């Protein structure tokens, strides 16, 4: 038997249907899919985390003499509401009939971190293979399952995500406590929010201190503007007076042929920007909508900065193009 661990319930359901794991096996309120030589179970985002300072023996009350904190990081359950999931996954991982595990979490560094935390927290040593799918079509899943590389090939993704997680902890926990002690206020300092807040404050200061200035140009009857910009109206009027009644000679003309590439497909960032500009959607709303469409197999994996579709979609794009040309 092989155990497939996905990141979300909807993904587990799709994969189970593809591999033929049609039976449900319950453990309390949680369940997994079973059949055709597979168990399929889902996490629900991060089930394990680096914990809080008090998990490493530091005081829950902020204390200056304990800073900076540099613990030897361990894994702790993320929250009590996911205890059932941790229990059923641990049970499946340790089944003697499960010979190997397939990591089917999201195709990205964060998905890799979700799985590695589960694997390491359960002290598992069974071989692991990676199902790296950028789309949830049946064809894409089948193709990935036919050629599963060892998960060790994705160690770089895991190490990058782990470094980000640990640096977030060190920066956030230490600075939050430091500023909390300094002014007796429960700050939340972070790698992302704090720099963004700084940018907003700096921009607000620039707007508050902005001084409006006016510049002038000369305009001909045909609408052509002078290249020269004049700082004062008097200077522009003086040049206008000197120019009246004189001829203007064209000294040079430049003709350029320009081409413009077709627009690339949307990455998550460009999609969020466009949806905000046109419809006023927030980044969170766009992500939730894109994730829902992905789980319904209407789009490719949305949590990416890639502007291209995956190779497994090539046939569908060609077929769609041919059909639409015929229809026209």
Q: What is the 3-state secondary structure (H, E, C) of 119-180?
A: HHHCCCCCCEEECCCCCCCHHHHHHHHHCCCEHHHHHHHHHHHHHHHHHHHHHHHHHHHHHH
The CATH number that applies at residue 70 is 3.40.50.140
Strands 2-6 and 38-42 come out as parallel
Give the mean model confidence (pLDDT) for residues 179-200: 89
pLDDT score of 274 more than 70: yes
Q: How many domains does one find in the chain? A: 2
The beta strands (E) that lie in 151-284 are given as: none
Q: Out of 158, 216, 294, 301, which one is annotated catalytic?
A: 301
| Residue 301 belongs to domain spanning | 268-327
- Residue 180, pLDDT score: 94
Angle between helical axes of 9-19 and 138-146 (0-180°, round to 10):
70
92-141 residue pLDDT tens: 999 999 999 999 999 889 999 999 999 999 999 999 999 998 878 888 89
* 179 neighbors 193 (Cβ within 8 angstroms): no
Summarised one tens digit per residue, pLDDT across range 50-95 is 999 999 999 999 999 999 999 999 999 999 999 999 999 999 999 9
pLDDT beyond 80 at 317: no
H helices present in 1-108, as ranges: 9-19, 83-93
Catalytic residue check, 179: no
Structural domain includes residue 157? yes
d(CA 186, CA 272): 32
**Pair (10, 151) in one structural domain:** yes
Whether 254 is in a domain gets the answer no
pLDDT at 302: 83
**Structural domain contains residue 256:** no
């Amino acid at each position: 038997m092989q155990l497939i661990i996905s990141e979300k319930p909807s993904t587990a359901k799709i994969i189970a249907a593809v591999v033929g794991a049609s039976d449900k096996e319950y453990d309390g309120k949680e369940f997994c899919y079973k059949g055709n030589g597979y168990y399929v179970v889902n996490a629900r985002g991060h089930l394990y985390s680096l914990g809080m300072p008090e998990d490493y023996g530091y005081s829950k009350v902020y204390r200056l003499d304990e800073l900076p904190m540099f613990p030897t990081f361990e894994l702790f359950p993320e929250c009590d509401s996911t205890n059932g999931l941790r229990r059923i996954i641990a049970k499946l991982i340790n089944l003697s009939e499960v010979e190997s595990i397939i990591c089917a979490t999201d195709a990205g560094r964060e998905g890799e971190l979700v799985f590695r935390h589960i694997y390491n927290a359960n002290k598992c040593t069974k071989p692991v293979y990676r199902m790296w799918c950028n789309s949830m079509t049946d064809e894409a899943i089948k193709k990935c399952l036919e050629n599963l590389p060892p998960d060790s090939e994705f160690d770089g993704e895991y190490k990058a995500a782990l470094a980000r997680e640990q640096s977030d902890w060190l920066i956030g926990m230490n600075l939050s406590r430091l500023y909390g002690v300094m002014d007796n206020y429960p700050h939340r300092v972070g790698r992302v929010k704090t720099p963004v807040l700084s940018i907003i404050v700096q921009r607000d200061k620039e707007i508050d201190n902005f001084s409006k200035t006016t510049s002038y140009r000369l305009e001909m009857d045909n609408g052509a503007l002078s290249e020269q910009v004049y700082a004062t109206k008097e200077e522009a009027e003086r040049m206008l007076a000197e120019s009246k009644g004189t001829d203007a000679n064209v000294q040079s003309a430049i003709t350029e042929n320009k081409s413009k590439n077709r627009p690339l497909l949307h990455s998550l960032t460009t999609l969020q920007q466009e949806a905000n500009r046109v419809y006023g959607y927030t980044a969170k709303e766009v992500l939730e909508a894109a994730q829902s469409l992905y789980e319904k197999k209407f789009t490719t994996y949305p949590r990416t900065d890639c502007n291209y579709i995956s190779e497994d979609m090539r046939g569908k794009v060609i077929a769609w193009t041919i059909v639409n040309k015929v229809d026209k």
